[in-house]
Amino acid sequence: MKMEKNRFLRALGFRREVAMVENCRCPLCAERVDEEEFRNEVFMKEFESSGLCQECLDMVFGYKVAW
C-alpha cells in the first residue's frame, strides 16, 4: 500500500517530498525525524501518513488540538 501511495504522490508532482519522507526527513522543515520524538500513537499514525515531525505536527494542527 505504501508503495502505491508513493507512486501516486510522485505522479502528482510531489517527488521531493516523497524522497524526503523515504529518507526520514520532514517534508516541511527538512529535519531528520526520530520516532522517539512523538508524544503518543496518534502523532505516530499522523507521521506515517504525512511524514511530518512532531514540531511541524504541532504547528500545522495546533498543539492543543493534537492532544
Domain range annotation of the chain:
2-66
Q: How confident is the model at residue 47, as a pLDDT?
A: 87
Q: How confident is the model at residue 14, as a pLDDT?
A: 65
pLDDT over 50 at 1, yes or no: no
Residue type, 61: F
CB 49 within 8 A of CB 26: no
Tell me the pLDDT band of 65, cut-offs 50, 70 and 90: low
CB 6 within 8 A of CB 22: yes
pLDDT over 90 at 66, yes or no: no
Task: Count Cβ atoms below 10 Å from residue 56 Cβ, excluding itself.
Answer: 18
Question: How many Å is the maximal CA-CA distance in the chain?
Answer: 34
At 14-54, the pLDDT tens digits run 666 666 677 788 888 889 999 899 999 999 888 888 888 99
